[in-house]
Each structure stands twice: as structure tokens, then as C-alpha cells.
A = this chain, B = another copy of it.
Amino acid sequence: MQNIKELAKAAKTASYELAVLSGAIKNKALVRMAGSLKAKTKEILSANKTDLAKARDLPKAARERLSLNEQRIKLMADSLLAVAALKDPVGEVIEGALRPNGLWIQKVRVPIGVVAIIYESRPNVTSDCIGLCLKSGNACILKGGSEAIATNRAVYHILKNAAVESGLPAEAINFVDTVERKALTELLGLSDSIDLVIPRGGEGLIRFVQKYSRIPVIKHYKGICHTYVDRYADLKMAEDICFNAKAQRPGVCNAMETLLVHNEASCDFLPEMIKRYTQAGVEIRGCDKTIKLVRSIKKAKELDWSTEYLDLILSIKVVDSLDEAITHINHYGSHHSDSIITESYNNAREFLNKVDSACVYVNASTRFTDGYEFGLGAEIGISTDKLHARGPMALPELTSYKYMIFGNGQIRH
């Protein structure tokens, strides 16, 4: 087995070299890596077959996530090129001031150091994270899921070789090549060498990482997103947004799981809305008031309000006030993405201010919570934490800063 501690230490040493690498060299490496990935498509597909052969017992959706084809590998390469084209976050002067004593102080963006990414399934996470960490000047340590280990290993070796050929230190990109959980707990204890852990995957994995990590973790457990249809909503707009938020892609974290409707809008809105959902195969679980309006639906249990279905299932609750909606969202939600549909300026303002979530919407689908949709050009994850980064995370969120102070002999009195 690899010596995880030595691997992390070497990554730390490499991170110092990486931190002062010019943007031109990093971009050249990214372009070469993208080329290698496309050139070695067959090698990756062959490794992917090995994983798929062992994955016969996995659910269809999981097999589908694991499976690669030429088109998907091309997309992975294109993502690396897109990252190369982004602005280098390192060295940005965030702010600065000349102090009365002549000290000239600058707050400058620098890489974090060593970032560990713990993830499941999708092999494109391997190439995406390697690209984003490299661009932001961080050394990375990847630990993927056992089901994808052959594919991840192939992608890793191809990208690492291309990086080294471009002049990058070999230990800038690292891969924990084992399926043992012991390796993960060991990794999570190495707070001297690793600066940040980003877990990506199911709630079980993320809770495990959070529990055992001695290193700062940025994460989101789940996306229990709400749409609240206010009494002053444009009901046609509300219908389109609510349908989109639930049904356009139900398996992702920014899809709606609970629909809240103001009592006074419920009669006009819910029967039609539920009809449209039902026709699209969405299972509805409603509160008592919802059931009074549409008798054919299931009754929601208490647990439904805190469940991330990630599926064509929706819980619906009729509320008596904006305040009740906000309280429900802050209590049962996951502080991810929540939307109000309203034509009332004051209600929009209150919802924006009081809902304690990373992304709060007025009159739009929660499905837009995404680094690309927000114009960040990339995404390494979404944070429902409040420290360091909140919401979609891109290159700046993979950086820290340092103060550079330019003096000419100042001493303190």
C-alpha cells in the first residue's frame, strides 16, 4: 500500500513550487492534459469496461453515472481547455491601502496549498478537480470511489504524465490508489500536510468525512430546496418555475423537494399544478390542506419535510403566511437554494433577507444554482457551509490570501 503520510508530505512540498508557477506554464499543462485525454480515449474506455464489469449489481442510475464513452471523454478534455481559458486567480490584488505611516499594504490572492477531494462515481470529477486545483496553484490528492477505481486511475496517470511533461512537479497531482477505507481515515488526519478537504458524493460519505476529518472541510450534505408560491404570485409563472424546479432534472441537489403555497393561492394554483406533475409522473405527498384540494394524493409524513428525494417525488404544504414559509424553510431546509414566486416587492425583500440559504431566488427556478449558470466559469462543488465559501465554488474559492506589506524602515511606537 502507498504510504499516505509520505504522499501528503510530498504534495505539501510540491505545493510551494506550484504556488509560484506562472499562469502560462499552468495553462500549457492544461492544454497538453486535454490533448492526452483525447489521444488516449481507448485506454480510458478499456479501464472503464473493467469497472463496469464489476458493477453489474449497482442500480442502473449508478452504472449510468460510472459509464464513459467517446463523447464524455471529449467533454472532460473540453472542460480542461475551458479552465485553461479562465482568469488565473493567483496574484489578484483583492484590496490595498497606503497607511498614514507609509506602510503600503496589499491583500493578495494565493493558493490554499494542498486540497484533498473525496468523491464517488463520476470519473469526470477526477479530471475536473485536477484541472481546477492546478489552475488555482494547489496540489491535489484525489480519493475516488471503489466502483470507479480503474477509470480514475487511468485518467489520473494520463493527466499526471502530461503535467510532468509540461514541467510541473510530479507530486502536484496525487491519487490514493486503494479501495480501503483505512486510507481515507488516515488521509483525514493529516492536518499538517493537507489544508482543505472537499467531499463530493452522497450524504453518507460526506458525514463520514466530516466526522473523521482533522482538516477543514467544505461540503454540502444535501439539497432540500423549496419554492414558495406567495399569495401575490403570478400563477402562470409559478407553474412553469415549479414544474422546472422539480421535473427538469430531479436527481440533482438544486432540484426542488418541497413546494410551499400560500393558503389564498392554493385553490387556484394547486389542482392544476398537481395535475401537471401527475401527468409527468411526479408522486405528490401533501399536507392535510393539500389533500382537501386534491383527494387522490398521498399524505406527507413529518419526515418528508426533511427528505432529499432526488427523484420524481414532491412534498407540498399549504402555509398561512410568508412568515410560516420562511420559518419552515429555515427549519427543514438544507440552506442550499430556495425561491419565492411573488409580485409583491415587500414579500420578495423579506424572503431574500430572512431565508438563511446560500442562494435565495425571486421568480426563478432553483435549478440555476450552479457555477456555470452563475458565470463563474467552473465549479468544484456547492457549499452549504458559511465559512470560507457558500454556494457554488469555483477558482477564487480554491484560494486563500496573504498580506504583503511594503515598508521603508517602519518601526512600531
A residues sitting closer than 8 Å to B (CB atoms) are: 16, 19-20, 97, 99, 103, 105, 112-113, 195-196, 216, 218, 234, 237, 240-241, 243-245, 248-249, 330, 352-354, 356-365, 367-369, 373-375, 385-388, 390-391, 400-413
Q: How long is the Cα–Cα vector from A8 to B352 in the complex, in angstroms? A: 25
Task: Please give, as numbers and ranges, the residues of chain B lying within 8 Å of A105 by CB-CB distance.
Answer: 374-375
Can you list 28 A-B pairs with a CB-CB distance of less than 8 A? A19-B353, A19-B354, A19-B356, A99-B373, A99-B374, A99-B375, A105-B374, A105-B375, A113-B356, A113-B386, A241-B409, A243-B411, A244-B411, A248-B412, A357-B402, A359-B405, A360-B403, A362-B405, A363-B409, A363-B410, A364-B409, A365-B410, A365-B411, A368-B410, A387-B387, A387-B388, A387-B400, A390-B401
CB of B244 within 8 A of CB of A412, answer yes
Q: How long is the Cα–Cα vector from A195 to B354 in the complex, in angstroms? A: 17
Q: How long is the Cα–Cα vector from A385 to B215 in the complex, in angstroms? A: 11
Q: How long is the Cα–Cα vector from A353 to B22 in the complex, in angstroms? A: 12
With contacts A387-B196, A391-B402, A403-B391 taken as known, whether A411 is within 8 angstroms of B362 at the C-beta atoms is no
Number of identical monomers bound together in the oligomeric complex: 2
With contacts A364-B410, A365-B412 taken as known, whether A403 is within 8 angstroms of B386 at the C-beta atoms is no
Which of B330, B367, B401 meets A412, CB within 8 Å? B367
Which of B241, B352, B373, B387 meets A112, CB within 8 Å? B387
Q: How long is the Cα–Cα vector from A368 to B387 in the complex, in angstroms? A: 26
Least CB separation from A236: chain B residue:
B409
Q: How long is the Cα–Cα vector from A247 to B105 in the complex, in angstroms? A: 24
CB of B367 within 8 A of CB of A411, answer yes
Task: Please give, as numbers and ranges, the residues of chain B lying within 8 Å of A354 by CB-CB distance.
Answer: 16, 19-20
User: Other CB < 8 Å A-B pairs besides A374-B403, A390-B402, 16 of them?
Assistant: A19-B353, A19-B354, A20-B353, A103-B373, A105-B374, A240-B409, A241-B411, A245-B411, A248-B413, A362-B405, A362-B407, A363-B409, A365-B412, A386-B400, A388-B388, A391-B402
**Most chain B CB inside 10 Å of its own CB: which residue of A218, A354, A402, A406:** A402
Least CB separation from A196: chain B residue:
B387
CB of B404 within 8 A of CB of A360, answer yes
With contacts A410-B368, A412-B368, A412-B373 taken as known, whether A360 is within 8 angstroms of B97 at the C-beta atoms is no
